[in-house]
Structure formats: structure tokens, C-alpha cells
Amino acid sequence: MSDPTPTATEQSALELTTPDLIIGDDGLARPVWASSDDVLRDYYDTEWGMPVRDEHGMFERLSLEAFQSGLSWATILRKRPAFRAAFDDFNPDVVAEYDERDVERLLGDAAIVRNRAKIMATIGNARATVQLRDKGGLSKFVWSFQPAVTPAPRSAEEVPSRSAESVALARALRNEGFSFVGPTTMYALMEAVGMIDTHLVGSHRRGSSGVWPE
């Protein structure tokens, strides 16, 4: 079996044609944002863009995307263990029952993002998630907005920040009582849970979800 690691010439050629991809020490191509930090690299390699179809997983990711608004994803990712501890592992049934004492507890927790509006949105979104079970559940609801085709970006500039589907999803979720679910935030959610594949063409993760064959 031949060595899959690119030669220096092959690596240079790839970098010239896809400047937003970096070849790691393992010979795998990743976007710049996933190449300079071990936490982001592991998230990119093992989780980002893989299908999430259960209520718990979808609620957690929707909550974290809301907290990320205005901040870097690296910040949220590093705080995820603390978020899980603070929000009872993002169990919608438990979070839906939070009261003002819980709000004050969360506002006093320096390990998470202490933003009252985002905390209140997470509690409200948990209640909306519980109510949405009557319509098939949060995950099924979100996935119903999956587009017919996925982008195939070759550079970071070609990665969209919203779509007609993310606009429609944001509107539909707001109608169901959700908040902090704007079109850009929902597009990021769609990327994270595998509804679309915005891995750059040439990345070792392109087409890996099984939802969108390469």
C-alpha cells in the first residue's frame, strides 16, 4: 500500500489550489479554523457536520449556538463541560422547569457565559422543545428544513452564512416559541448537525457524514 501522506510537491500544489486548507502533520487537509487549536481540531475531526437526529443532541447544539452569538465558537467549545453541568446536561424536561433561583445560579456561574437574555432563551427553548413533541419533536422539526442540495465551497469566502432554508427554519422556530434562533445562527446549527455539508472541497471530512456523499 502506498504512503497516503502528500509529498512536498503535492502539498504545495494543494495549498496553491485550496489556500484555505492546511495539511496537518497527519497528512490530512483541514480548514484554517480547525488547524491551529487541538480542541477545534478534535471537534472538526469527530463531531462537526455529523448527523444529530435525537432531541437531546439537537437541543444542546441549539442552546450552544445561541450562546455563541457574538462570541467565538472556541470559547463555547471550551466551556461546554461547564455548560452541561450548569444546565443538567441540557435535559429539556429539567431545564424547562428552571425558575428564578436557577437563573440567579446560572448568572453566578463564572464557568459559563453569564448573559441573562441567553439564559432565559435557553429555558424558554427547553419549554418550547417539550411542547414541540406534539408535532414530532425538535429534531424532526429542524430536519424538515433540510435543503435539496448542499453547498460545495472551495474557499472560506464561498461558505454561506445563511440560506433560504435557515431563514425559514428561524421563522418557524420563533413561531413555536423559540428565541435566539436567527437565520445565521440556524445556518450554523444546520452545518453542525449535518443538514448541510460546508466542509471545503479537498478537506478530509468532506462527504464524511453520509448525508451528502462526496
Nearest to 204 by CA among 24, 52, 1, 39: 24
Q: Where does residue 204 rank: exposed (0-12), middle (13-18), buried (19+ CB within 10 A)?
A: middle
65 given a catalytic annotation: yes
Contact indicator for 145, 195 with CB cutoff of 8 Å? yes
187 given a catalytic annotation: no
Q: Determine if residue 38 is left, alpha or beta; phi over 0 gives left, psi from -120 to 50 gives alpha, anything else beta.
A: alpha
Residue 30, SS3 per DSSP: strand
User: Of the listed 55, 65, 165, 191, which one is catalytic?
Assistant: 65
Cell of 63: 442552546
Nearest to 61 by CA among 174, 151, 180, 199: 180
73 given a catalytic annotation: yes
Cell of 155: 474557499
User: Of the listed 15, 73, 97, 176, which one is catalytic?
Assistant: 73
User: Of the listed 15, 33, 43, 97, which one is catalytic?
Assistant: 43
Q: H or E stretch including 126?
A: helix 116-131
* Angle, in degrees to the nearest 10, between helices 73-86 and 55-68: 130
Residue at 73: amino acid letter: W
Active site residues: 43, 65, 73
